[in-house]
Amino acid sequence: MALARKNGRITNREYQALAGITDRTVLRDFEELTAKGVLEKRGTTGRSIHYVLRRQTRHKPDKGDTR
């Protein structure tokens, strides 16, 4: 995540080289992080795909909101 924060994005190939893991593991990790809302997938296919950190917004409850 530090590389994504520093560069604004991370690719499959960058993560694979950095972590020394297989392409399948990278895809699994990215799918999990995307599902959890940590990363957002950009691009459509192949080399155009990259991932960016998803902006976290904090919800301020309105008056009377009991959530």
Q: What average pLDDT is seen over the chain?
A: 84
CATH number where 40 lies: 1.10.10.10
* pLDDT-based confidence at residue 48 (cuts at 50, 70, 90): confident
Output the CA torsion 41→24→21→39 (10° steps).
20
Q: Is residue 61 within a helix (H) or strand (E), and if so which, with residue range?
A: none
Q: 31 to each of 26, 28, 44, 49, how far by Cα in Å? A: 9, 5, 15, 13
Query: Which residue range(s) make up the domain with 49?
Result: 2-53
Q: How many separate domains does the chain show?
A: 1
Q: What pLDDT is attached to residue 14?
A: 93
Within a domain: 31: yes
